[in-house]
């Protein structure tokens, strides 16, 4: 009997060849996209290092190891993972109070937690995020990307503003000339050459911090391996793991929608954990998916494969170590222009159009607005998504609870009455159910027909028990009919057990 396990040769033949190996256009797009993202990563990584209270090289190392590792083990091709502001905010207090060694230990532990959560299927929870929350997530991240550029435009020399305008103009009009070279790369190159050649004094990448001159070296965190250390870093590691997974999975879903493709969210969850463990052992500050840089890669540059993600990390180190002096001369106005274009392209303008708002239910609009407000107030996308999802569930429960209807039909001879219940019976609708019956005036035989209803929880069973008890106190008999199999099973299991027989 032939073996069902394919031979190595057959397995290799069955592997899909990367598109960039067979299509020079795809290869060019991926390479140039990786270069643009690498340039955009440098000031971001340095800024997030400052937030976390660590040396700028730590954030750059983290961006390098995160991007290179996730390119191999991640579930969403073309998504960029690197050092992020959300992670920096979580671990900053730990670094400030206990030192850098504890920060690295927390990063490694967070990676382990993410692997465990991924294996447990936490990614499946993403299906409970409604569209209104997703729209709020997209719009809020666009606003955050724009807000992050504002400090680069305040208290700066006046040439920054014409440079910004020139960069925006290049990115708007250059694609009409050719799409061979990404417009952001052209904008960065032109503005850098202009400022250096003309000797224009404006803030540059080099002003953000010193770039590293060597590759990171792996090692263990400098902490005592004791239970006390574990209890110190565990809360921060858990918070980092949850925030990182939330942002990464939401970003992956966004990229799925943009590219009209699917990706493995479970693999992405595990991959984020592996990337953080690798980053921790190389002395990085950890991270997760970067929304702004992912939009540059996918939406602005048109990248679609893992190659662009890998090259973003590889180019980042090459630019820092080999071309550090050149990169340091890039004016911040050029990178700000790129990020402004990203925020404009990311924002879902259709969602706030008057025509759309007039047609949208008030509850959906409320959820979207609350999601955006929470994210902007906390600068934490995960908090906005959680709050928005909870409110969306509450709105849905309130809406569904109103669907439950009770109609009564009395037999002509007056000997019995049939109450037909229609809709979903759960905690939000079951309380109202009890008050829909005429206990005092109904005949001795009462039929409750649930053939058009579904019993979802213990609250509904308890409500039905209460109805029966109210009739029983008046010497009347209740007959419940029409239960579907799941409802009947729940009713048989819980009826009479929830109210102590009263």
Task: Check residue 347 and give its pLDDT.
Answer: 86
- pTM here? 0.73
Give CA–CA dist 313/71, Å, rounded.
9
Q: What are phi and psi of 405, to 5 degrees?
A: -125, 150
3-state secondary structure 271-317: HHHHHHHHHHHCCCCCCEECHHHHHHHHHHCCCCCHHHHHHHHHHHH
Bridge partners of 110?
none
Say if CB 284 and CB 107 are below 8 A apart.
yes
Task: Check residue 7 and give its pLDDT.
Answer: 54
Say if CB 444 and CB 477 are below 8 A apart.
yes
The tokens describing 458, both together, are 């213990």
Task: Check residue 121 and give its pLDDT.
Answer: 87
Give CA–CA dist 139/133, Å, rounded.
10
Q: Residue 417 in 3-state DSSP?
A: strand
Task: Check residue 12 and give its pLDDT.
Answer: 47
Helix axes 160-177 and 332-346, enclosed angle (nearest 10): 60
End-to-end Cα separation, the chain, in angstroms: 67
- DSSP readout, 26-81? HHHHHHHHHHHHHHHHHHHHHHHHHHHTS-HHHHHHHHHHHHHHHHHH-SSTT--E
Task: Check residue 401 and give its pLDDT.
Answer: 61
* Tokens 């000997």, located at residue: 415
Say if CB 69 and CB 289 are below 8 A apart.
no
- In what order do the strands lie in the sheet containing 405-410? 405-410, 416-425, 445-455, 477-481
- pLDDT tens for each residue of 335-352: 888 888 878 887 888 888
Number of C-beta neighbours around residue 460 at 10 A: 26
Say if CB 110 and CB 240 are below 8 A apart.
yes
DSSP letter for 480, please: E
The tokens describing 184, both together, are 């952001």
Task: Check residue 152 and give its pLDDT.
Answer: 87
Helix axes 458-472 and 427-434, enclosed angle (nearest 10): 10
Task: Check residue 15 and give its pLDDT.
Answer: 52
Task: Check residue 239 and give its pLDDT.
Answer: 83
- pLDDT tens for each residue of 269-326: 999 999 999 999 999 999 999 888 898 899 888 899 999 999 999 999 999 999 888 8
Say if CB 248 and CB 288 are below 8 A apart.
yes
- DSSP readout, 179-236? SSS-HHHHHHHHHHHHHHHHT----BGGGG-PPPSS-------SS--SHHHHHHHHHH
Q: Which positions of the chain have pLDDT values less than 70?
A: 1-16, 400-403, 431, 497-502
The tokens describing 5, both together, are 């396990």
């Amino acid at each position: 009997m032939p073996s069902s396990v394919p031979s190595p040769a057959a397995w290799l033949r069955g592997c899909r060849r990367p598109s960039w190996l067979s299509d020079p256009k795809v290869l060019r797009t991926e390479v140039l996209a990786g270069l643009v993202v690498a340039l955009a990563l440098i000031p971001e990584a340095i800024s997030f290092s400052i937030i976390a209270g660590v040396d700028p090289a730590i954030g750059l190392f983290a961006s390098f190891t995160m991007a290179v590792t996730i390119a191999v083990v991640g579930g969403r091709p073309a998504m960029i993972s690197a050092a992020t502001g959300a992670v920096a905010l979580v671990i900053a207090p730990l670094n400030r109070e206990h030192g850098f060694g504890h920060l690295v230990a927390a990063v490694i532990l967070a990676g382990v937690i993410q692997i465990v959560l991924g294996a447990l299927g936490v990614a499946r929870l993403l299906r409970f995020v409604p569209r209104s929350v997703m729209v709020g997530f997209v719009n809020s991240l666009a606003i955050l990307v724009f807000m992050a550029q504002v400090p680069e435009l305040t208290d700066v020399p006046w040439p920054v503003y014409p440079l910004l305008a020139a960069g925006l103009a290049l990115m708007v009009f250059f694609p009409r000339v050719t799409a061979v070279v990404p417009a952001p790369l052209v904008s960065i190159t032109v503005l850098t050459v202009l400022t250096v050649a003309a000797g224009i004094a404006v803030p540059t990448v080099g002003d953000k911090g010193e770039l590293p001159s060597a590759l990171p070296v792996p090692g263990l965190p400098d902490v005592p391996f004791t239970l006390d250390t574990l209890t110190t870093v565990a809360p921060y590691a858990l918070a980092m793991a949850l925030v990182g997974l939330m942002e990464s999975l939401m970003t992956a879903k966004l990229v799925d929608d943009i590219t009209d493709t699917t990706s493995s969210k479970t693999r992405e969850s595990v991959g984020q954990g592996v990337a953080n463990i690798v980053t921790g052992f190389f002395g990085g500050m950890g991270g997760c998916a970067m929304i702004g840089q992912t939009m540059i890669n996918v939406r602005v540059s048109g990248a679609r494969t893992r190659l662009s993600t890998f090259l973003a990390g590889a180019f980042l180190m090459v630019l820092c170590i080999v071309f550090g002096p050149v990169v340091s001369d890039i004016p911040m106005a050029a990178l700000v222009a790129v990020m402004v274009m990203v925020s404009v392209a990311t924002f879902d303008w259709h969602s706030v159009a008057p025509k759309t708002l007039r047609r949208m239910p008030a509850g959906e609009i409320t959820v979207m607005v609350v999601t955006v407000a929470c994210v902007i107030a906390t600068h934490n996308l995960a908090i906005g998504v959680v709050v928005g999802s909870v409110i969306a569930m509450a709105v849905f429960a309130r809406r569904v609870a109103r669907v439950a209807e009770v109609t009564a039909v009395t037999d002509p001879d007056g000997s019995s009455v049939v109450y037909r219940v229609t809709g979903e019976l759960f905690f939000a609708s079951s309380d109202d159910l009890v008050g829909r019956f005429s206990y005092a005036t109904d005949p001795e035989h009462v039929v409750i027909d649930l053939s058009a209803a579904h019993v979802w929880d213990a609250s509904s069973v308890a409500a039905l028990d209460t109805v029966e008890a109210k009739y029983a106190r008046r010497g009347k008999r209740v007959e419940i009919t029409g239960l579907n199999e799941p409802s009947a099973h729940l009713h048989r299991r819980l009826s009479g057990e929830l109210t102590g027989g009263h």
